[in-house]
A and B are shown apart, each in its own frame.
Chain A
Amino acid sequence: MPAPTTAALVTRCQALFDDLSFGAAREWKAAAAGRRVVAYMPIYVPRELIHAAGMLPLGILGAGENLEVIHGDAYYQSYICRIPRSTLDLGITGRLDFVDGFLFPSICDVIRNLSGIWKILFPKVYVHYFDVPQNFDPEVGGVFYRQELQELREALARLAGRPITDDALRASFALYNQNRRLVRELYAFRAGAPWRAPASETYLVLRAGMVLPVEEHNQLLADYLAAARAEERPRRDNCRIVLNGVFCEQPPLSMIKAIEMSGCYIVDDDFMLVHRWLLEDLPVTGDPIAALSTAFLSGSTENGAKYQPRQELKGQYILEAVRANAAEGVIFAAPSFCDPALLERPMLEKVLDRVDVPHIGFKYAENSAQLQPVREQAGTFADSIKLWSTP
């Protein structure tokens, strides 16, 4: 059997992306009696705990541009972002009727309050607001977090109807370690040769990981990397940019394409940080709960949803992303009314201004249809970098 091409793999990912009934997850659940599915929202949950219970973690990122939100708008004012309303629409229209549990992570007040709405509207679903420490001292935040993880572990075990053993957790760690390694490899490959792995494709490959079992996603990542490495594609005279602010409500896929088509190679981004939240492998020996806790406290991604206790380090992550990926500028793209992204942005801009890294910013919604302004802005930005930046 010939190795799959990037086109074939991306076609499959696109089909998963377009399927707002989550057919793949439904099929997984139906394939064996007693299977359970636990959904989660951005920005981070320890999916290993769900997997180790024999359940499928299912990432929910709203409904994108292809669902006409009808019910969800009745629950939210116009000045609240779109992701909670389209997610509610998915729930109310029965598209998530196979979901047994739903985790709402600590990211912002909107997602936090959505957890309460979900409890009321879907009383048969296990709903949990997943709080994480903003204190990173192992003896303070760490102790708190280990207990929270342990309580989540027990609740998930009850939902699954079986205990989550340390060995099962370690086996899940190994699979997710592999997943993170592959994702890192993919990002490194794209940063090295962005014309061979466009962001519009890597996005879909990552997005597939929100609905597929990790075992399948690992294979998909490996196949895509192999295919991308094997294929030559024309290189354009694009500039290299970091895309920031896209970690929760997703832009329409056409916006990612528009940025690329307007002359920007996206060499780093903060899409679906759940894939990249933990920066290093989890140890597959020792106490697994302690391992998850330590990884969160001292080895996890920085982002607007997380407190930075040291002022001198605030926002340095954007600079590191620029430097590590040889980027020439940053595009801040935030969902309208997104507190974590929009409140963070001025601090990141300051960090970039200090070292003369150019940046632009705009807002979007998951159903933004008018992309001409984005094309014009990104195109002008790319031109200005090409024309005026110091070589």
Chain B
Amino acid sequence: MTVKPASLRPQAPVREVVKEASMVKQKEMIARNYDLLTSTAEHGRKVASTFVPGNLNELIMCFDMLNNLPEINAIQNGMRKISGDYITEAEKRGHSEDVCTYVKADLGMIAKGNVSPNGKPLPRPDLLLLSYTGCFTFMKWFELLREEYKCPTVMLHVPYQGDGETTRNMRDYIVKQLKQEVIPALERVSGVKFDIDRLRGYLRESARAEDDLVWVLESAKQTPAPIDAYFGGVYYIGPIFTAFRGTPDATEYYRLLRAEIEERLRLGLGPITPEGDMKSQKYRLVVEGPPNWTSFREFWKMFYDDGAVVVASSYTKVGGTYDLGFRHDPDHPLESLADYCMGVYTNRNLPQRIDLLEKYMDEYQADGLLINSIKSCNSFSAGQLMIMREVEKRTGKPAAFIETDLVDPRYFSAANVKNRLESYFQMIDQKRGSAPSAA
């Protein structure tokens, strides 16, 4: 199946997006999940809404519940270019222009019928599972949603790694909340009794998929890189970060994906882009920060048109830092969920984030660090100029800074971003001390 991309230049010929088997698989999985979410009146399964960082998908599945992720809905609406209207709607209803646009896109979506990408209305959640991990806004977001839905809400507070480490006390606190608050709430809402062996089974499945995900992400250490670890990476993390971690579908997706990347490596191919294989790789970048979703294709094109490939990114660690060795562990199920939550990228302190980016710069042989600073995301953005200085100082490689937003189209200025990127690529060329290599 092919999808026509949004045309970037009116005069350019429309090209068909290339789809590989893993992409088709993921698309089917997402569609099926939305179909399940929008047909709860028929099948009766209960719905938990929760967040990507600190997502407890395996636990939710233990109660036969469906997982609805408002961040993902906002992203979907951003990519479908309808988030702007939702944000405007939320602002009309009194929400400040200064706050997170995911929140406003979600609230605006609810105000306008809560229509899912399949055209059917999303159900009211039966439980708001407030996994308070790495982002202050999450707390307020679900307090606001609670006002809309008036449904049970349970908070899982995940302590921040302020001192750059996790402690026994932090872990015990999370496990205790799982046992005494979260699991009982899920039992009450679903009517299903918790079975820890069922959880172990899902976690075992998760770990298999996580192995393959890490292999895929680390394939970008090769030259040429067979993947783009940011624009492509956001698709690769999709199943594991959302409603599929712990399912055979996710394991199968990553098996397919890994085989495709192995084949690309064997053939010496670069990443697949919406316009086909990326032919030349002049710049290897590490990217910090989430992407812009409203002009995602246009944004990506600015990179591959100039031969820039992203070899590692921090955003693809926001739902788990599996490449640092963490795996969900069926032998320590609740402790493992606690460790997972504490380890997500935005729950790490600034020095840890800098260390990680420096490590990526080194291990992925990057030419530079690019920061995409998101206007409405303080969790990521506050401190990014410090990150830029430190990584530049430690690696001697040039860093650059661009500013966009998550799902607010008003804050994506294509001309500005493109100018900055082109200047940055020139800076890398100068730093290399030689003319750019042939395309």
A residues neighboring B (CB under 8 Å): 74-77, 79-80, 84, 104, 106-110, 112-117, 119-121, 128-131, 133-135, 137, 139-141, 143-144, 147-148, 151, 304-305, 307-309, 311, 314, 334, 336-340, 342-347, 349-350, 363
Task: Tell me how far the C-beta of B246 lies from the nearest C-beta in chain A, rounded to whole angstroms.
Answer: 25
Interface string of B369-389 (1 = CB under 8 A from A): 000010110110111111000
CA–CA, A262 and B163, complex, Å? 46
Which residues, 152 to 167 on B, are CB-close (under 8 Å) to A? 153, 155, 157, 159-160, 162-163, 167
CB distance from B318 to the nearest CB of A (A): 13
Q: Taking the complex as formed, is B280 at the interface, i.e. its CB lies under 8 A from any CB of chain A?
A: no
Known: A116-B350, A345-B96. A339 touches B160 (CB 8 A): no
Which segment, of B6-14, B57-65, B176-184, B416-424, faces chain A?
Answer: B176-184
A129 touches B143 (CB 8 A): no
CB-defined contacts of B136 to chain A, threshold 8 Å: 107-109, 112, 305, 339-340
Report the nearest B residue to A121, measured CB to CB: B386
A305, B139: Cα distance in complex, Å: 9
Q: Which residue of A lies closest to B139 (CB)?
A: A307
Q: Is the CB of B155 within 8 A of A119?
A: no
User: Is A141 a contact partner of B173 (Cβ separation < 8 A)?
Assistant: yes
Of the residues A74, A128, A133, A347, contact of B385 by C-beta under 8 Å:
A74
**Which listed residue, A115, A311, A344, A346, touches B162 by the CB 8 Å rule?**
A115
Is there a chain A Cβ closer than 8 Å to B169's Cβ?
yes
Chain B CB within 10 Å, residue with most, of A144, A344, A345: A144
Chain B residues contacting A120 (CB-CB under 8 Å) are 350-351, 354, 386, 390
Of the residues B103, B132, B146, B383, contact of A343 by C-beta under 8 Å = B103
Contact assessment for A343 and B144 in the assembled complex, using a CB-CB cutoff below 8 Å:
yes
Nearest-CB distance from B60 to chain A (Å)? 20
Once A117-B350, A339-B99 are accepted as A-B contacts, the answer to whether A346 and B94 lie under 8 Å apart by CB is yes
- Give the CA-CA distance A130 to B136 in the complex, in Å: 14
Query: If the complex has contacts A80-B378, A343-B140, A347-B147, are A112 and B160 also in contact, measured as CB distance less than 8 A?
Result: yes
Please, how many angstroms separate the alpha-carbon atoms of A117 and B352 in the complex?
A: 11
A117 and B180 form a contact (CB under 8 A): no
A112 CB to closest chain B CB (Å) equals: 6
Closest Cβ neighbor of A341 among chain B residues: B96
Contact of A134 among B95, B141, B157, B162 (CB under 8 A): B157
B359 at the interface (CB under 8 A from A): no
Instruction: Check A75–B137 contact: CB distance below 8 A.
Output: no
Taken together as a complex, chains A and B put the C-alpha atoms of A342 and B137 apart, in Å, by 10
Q: Which residues of B contact A (CB under 8 A)?
A: 93-96, 98-100, 103, 132, 135-137, 139-141, 143-144, 146-147, 150, 153, 155, 157, 159-160, 162-163, 167, 169-170, 172-173, 176-177, 180-181, 349-351, 353-354, 373, 375-376, 378-379, 381-386, 390, 403
A107 vs B162: C-alpha distance in the bound complex, in angstroms? Answer: 13
Are A339 and B177 also in contact (CB < 8 A) when A109-B135, A115-B162, A308-B143 are?
no
Which of chain B's residues has its CB closest to A129's CB? B162
Whether B103 pairs with A140 at a CB distance below 8 angstroms is no
Contact B163 A128 (CB under 8 A): yes
7 further A-B pairs in the complex, CB-CB below 8 A; given A151-B167, A305-B136: A139-B176, A140-B177, A307-B139, A308-B143, A311-B147, A311-B150, A339-B140
Q: How far is the CB of B199 from chain A (nearest CB, A)?
A: 20
Question: Do residues B176 and A140 form an inter-chain contact, with CB atoms below 8 A?
Answer: yes
- Residues of chain A lying within 8 A (CB to CB) of residue B150: 311
Would you list 17 pairs from A and B whose C-beta atoms are within 8 A, ordered by A residue? A74-B385, A79-B381, A129-B349, A130-B162, A131-B160, A139-B176, A141-B157, A141-B173, A148-B169, A151-B167, A151-B169, A307-B155, A337-B98, A338-B98, A342-B96, A343-B103, A346-B93
Query: B144 — which chain A residues lie within 8 A by C-beta?
Result: 343, 346-347
Contact residues in B for A75 (Cβ distance below 8 Å) = 383, 385-386
With the chains together, A80 CA to B132 CA distance in Å?
22
Across the interface, do B143 and A77 meet the contact criterion of CB distance under 8 Å? no
Determine the distance from Cα of A337 to Cα of B382 in the docked complex, in whole angstroms: 11
Residue of B nearest to A107 (CB): B136
Chain A residues with Cβ below 8 Å from B170 are: 144
Chain B residues with CB under 8 A of A133? 157, 173
Bound: A109/B170 CA distance, A? 19
B379's nearest neighbour on chain A, judged by CB, is A109
Name the B residues within 8 Å of A148 (CB-CB): 169
A5 to B434, CA, bound (A): 74
Residue of A nearest to B179 (CB): A140
Closest residue of B by beta carbon distance from A88:
B386
Closest 3 CB pairs of A and B: A116-B350, A129-B162, A343-B140
Distance, CA A270 to CA B315, complexed state (A):
36
B349 touches A116 (CB 8 A): yes
Asked if B139 contacts A311 (CB within 8 A), the reply is no
Q: Which residues of chain A are near B98, meaning CB under 8 Å?
A: 79, 336-338, 342, 363
B130 to chain A, nearest CB (A): 8
A115 contacts which chain B residues (CB < 8 A)?
A: 162, 349-350
A87, chain B: closest CB distance, angstroms: 12
Bound form: Cα–Cα A352–B169 in Å: 40
B155 touches A309 (CB 8 A): yes
B349 with A109: CB separation less than 8 A: no
Which residues from chain A contact B94 at a C-beta distance below 8 Å?
345-346, 349
Most chain A beta carbons < 10 A, residue from B162, B176, B353, B390: B162
Q: Are B162 and A80 in contact (CB under 8 A)?
A: no
Q: How far is the CA of A131 from the CA of B163 in the complex (A)?
A: 11
CA distance A49 to B167 in the complex (A): 21
Closest to B376 in A: A79
Bound form: Cα–Cα A342–B146 in Å: 17
List the A side residues contacting B379 at CB < 8 Å: 109, 113
Which residues from chain A contact B139 at a C-beta distance below 8 Å?
134, 307
B86 to chain A, nearest CB (A): 16
| Docked CA distance A119–B164 (Å) | 11
Residues of A within 8 A of B173 (CB): 133, 135, 140-141, 143-144
A119 CB contact (under 8 Å) in B93, B177, B350, B376: B350
Q: Which residues of A lie under 8 Å from residue B157 when comparing CB positions?
A: 133-135, 141, 307
* A84 partner residues in chain B, CB cutoff 8 A: 382
Query: Which residues from chain B contact A76 at a C-beta distance below 8 Å?
Result: 382, 385
Q: A131-B162, A134-B132 are in contact. Are A77 and B95 (CB under 8 A)?
A: no
A307 and B131 CA atoms in complex are apart in Å by 12
Point out the residues of chain B lying under 8 angstroms from A347, CB to CB.
143-144, 147
Q: Report the minimum CB–CB distance from A222 to chain B (whole Å).
A: 37
Closest-by-CB residue of B relative to A147 is B169
Residue of B nearest to A334 (CB): B96
